[in-house]
Structure 1
């Protein structure tokens, strides 16, 4: 795993996760309905998180668990993912306790991806996690973005093409507008976001 997913392996070691928790994360993210929401997504996301933040370890845990339940036909994936995190929270980082309430808030925040006003370090940590979760949208390599876009389509293969195109266009446009207005992106990130989404929206018609 270390060669394919270096940031994931580093997170496992930094958190000193028990073998059964590592196996749970790997097993869940290898389920057959997943094409984008896989260990590769988690590894890419982990690579975008700030390493020296006061809540860096909480962000790692939230990233590992935020998609541990993923069923595109159900509306409560984040709530179910939170329940699984809470079921094993007592086994994680026992020598240096984590802020479980903040991790819970982070996991639930990935449902809407609404950035917060940054009044506290916790707010900034939640925003950093959300930005990392969405960072595929401004990935600099076109083939990586294409893998993401195709993966999302495969995960929603049960949706007819015309319905998918309409829904995906609405969702992608909304995400782009929210991100461009959020103040969270650098100029280069905003340019890459626009370039990637313009390309996908053009294909969607």
Structure 2
């Protein structure tokens, strides 16, 4: 479904099958890296499922899809500028297929919004960042697999280094008035997310 959706998206911008396949191959290769355990194609697939549920609420569906495919395309556990690098690569690729500058700018802003997940004045951005965090509100079995996979991505760090950093991230979410900015995702995931996060903190 991910590949088909991407190819269908690009038919709006280019007639070149070879360019479309080249761009998809790059996405597939990056998200399938052996260093990745959570930021994978499975993560993208879950995002697509979550966002499709609110498609009627999204004002610019094509932009949301570009954001989905490119928001984690650069992921290096040793770096803190993954979102910026992902936004840069998205801009480069979208210019290759003549996407409008307004759409490119919005896509970049949505990618950068996944760094802090704070509420945006743009409702599409809020739907995207909520979908990006939807894993937090899954049942404990799925959530525990998620946090273990995140730990694997940062396996280069000892528990002594990793645990305080992870706790800081988790406590940041708990300190928010609302983890989820949209009514739809708030009602669906907020309560379970806070329970999961609290439980993980206790296990660290």
TM-score range, shorter chain: 0.7 to 0.9
- Which structure 2 segments of 5+ residues have no match? 12-19
Q: Distance in 1 between matches of 2:26 and 2:39?
A: 15
Structure 1 match to 2:105: 101
Q: Distance in 2 between matches of 1:194 and 1:25?
A: 32
Q: How many aligned positions are there?
A: 191
| Consecutive aligned runs of 4 or more in structure 1 exceeding 6 Å deviation | none
Q: Greater CA deviation, 49-58 or 18-27? A: 49-58
* CA deviation vs aligned residue, 1:39-82 (integer Å, no higher than 9, x gap): 11111112121323221111111011010000010121112112
The TM-score, its normalising length taken from structure 1, stands at 0.83
Q: Describe the SS at the equivalent of 2:116.
A: coil
Contact map agreement 2:173 2:179 (CA 8 A) in 1: no
Q: 1:16 aligns with which of 10, 15, 23?
A: 10
The TM-score, its normalising length taken from structure 2, stands at 0.84
Q: What is the Cα-based RMSD across aligned positions, in Å?
A: 2.2
Alpha-carbon distance change, 169 to 87 in structure 1, aligned in 2, over 3 angstroms: same
Larger fraction in helix? 2
Structure 2 match to 1:136: 135
Does residue 72 in structure 1 map to residue 70 in structure 2? no
Contact map agreement 1:15 1:92 (CA 8 A) in 2: no
Structure 2 match to 1:3: none
Deviation of 1:135 (Å): 0.9
